[in-house]
């Protein structure tokens, strides 16, 4: 789908302006994309712009179900496809697609529709967060995770740790994007469930996170459902 330059600039300005105030936690954007998808490059480009923000955690999850059409995505992981399908089942949808953006685990939108993305991100930036979350480096390649939940929100949560590559460029040689050199941002490389938490008592754990890649922690309702808290260490 073609997007005019004016639409791109205005959409991004809407996101940035709408999130400039009353923001205490970042909005999480999961982009389900594939190197073999001809509709995905505009969404990948939008994610690059969103990845520059401190008040957004933008994550690119490359899926493997388009590999059969001529180009194997080097970042694809069957676990990403499974997570996207789990969102579809939880939301009562019968199919998945690319490019899809899922905002805070709750709303989904076509990833190459920047105005729709902007409106959803702005709405989530303003919603109340029932969980507070803090990350600190504990030394020896470990991080400390501390969280607390409002009493009315003390229901099951899933605590997850995500690692990503900040940027890589790929020359696509076959498939729908053959001949293109495409740059991808915040490419998810690891997604680990750390623990389940009932929210009744404060959470305090230390976990290994070796290496210099950014670290993201998400506290999410099962399902997968709404992401109630997110934090990052770069």
Write the DSSP string, 17-42.
HHTSSS--SPEEEEEEE-TT-TT-HH
Q: The domain 5-233: what is its CATH number?
A: 3.40.30.10
Model confidence at 153, pLDDT cuts 50, 70, 90, reads confident
Those residues with Cβ within 8 angstroms of residue 80's Cβ, 6 or more apart along the chain or in another chain: 32, 61, 62, 63, 64, 188, 191
Across 106-111, average pLDDT: 96
Is pLDDT above 50 for 106?
yes
Q: What is the pLDDT of residues 198-217, one digit of tens each?
A: 999 999 999 999 999 999 99
How many CA atoms, within 13 angstroms, populate the side-chain half-sphere of residue 148? 3
The confidence score (pLDDT) of residue 10 equals 54
The confidence score (pLDDT) of residue 151 equals 85
Tell me how far CA of residue 30 lies from CA of 14, 37, 98, in angstroms: 19, 17, 12
Q: What is the pLDDT of residues 74-85, one digit of tens each?
A: 999 999 999 999
Characterize the bridge pairing of strands 27-33 and 56-62. Answer: parallel
Q: Which of 22-26, 138-142, 145-149, 203-207 is the least confident region? A: 22-26
Mean of per-residue pLDDT scores for the chain: 91
The confidence score (pLDDT) of residue 208 equals 97
Is pLDDT above 60 for 19?
no
Model confidence at 100, pLDDT cuts 50, 70, 90, reads very high
- 0.85 cut: is pTM over it? yes
| Range from 8-12, 59-63, 90-94, 136-140 that averages highest in pLDDT | 59-63
Across 24-31, average pLDDT: 93
The confidence score (pLDDT) of residue 162 equals 98
Q: What is the pLDDT of residues 34-57, one digit of tens each?
A: 999 999 999 999 999 999 999 999
> 4 vs 69, which has greater pLDDT?
69
Locate all alpha helices (DSSP H) within the chain, ordered by sequence. 5-18, 41-50, 78-90, 114-125
């Amino acid at each position: 789908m073609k997007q005019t330059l004016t639409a791109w600039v205005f959409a991004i300005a809407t996101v940035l302006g709408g999130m400039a105030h009353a923001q205490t936690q970042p909005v999480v954007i999961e982009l389900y994309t594939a190197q073999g998808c001809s509709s995905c490059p505009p969404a990948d480009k939008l994610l690059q712009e969103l990845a520059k923000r401190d008040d957004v955690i933008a994550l690119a999850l490359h899926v493997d179900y388009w590999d059969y059409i001529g180009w194997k995505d080097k970042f694809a992981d069957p676990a990403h496809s499974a997570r996207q399908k789990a969102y579809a089942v939880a939301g009562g949808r019968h199919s998945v697609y690319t490019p899809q953006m899922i905002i805070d685990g709750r709303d989904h939108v076509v990833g190459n529709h920047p105005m729709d993305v902007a409106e959803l991100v702005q709405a989530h930036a303003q919603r109340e967060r029932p969980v507070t979350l803090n990350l600190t480096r504990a030394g020896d390649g470990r991080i400390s995770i501390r969280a607390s939940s409002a009493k009315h929100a003390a229901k099951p949560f899933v605590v997850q740790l995500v690692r990503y590559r900040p940027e890589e460029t790929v020359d696509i040689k076959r498939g729908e994007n053959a001949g293109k050199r495409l740059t991808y941002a915040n490419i998810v490389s690891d997604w680990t469930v750390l623990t389940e938490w009932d929210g009744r008592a404060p959470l305090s754990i230390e976990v290994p996170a070796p290496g210099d890649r950014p670290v993201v922690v998400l506290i999410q309702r099962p399902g997968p459902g709404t992401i109630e808290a997110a934090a990052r260490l770069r």
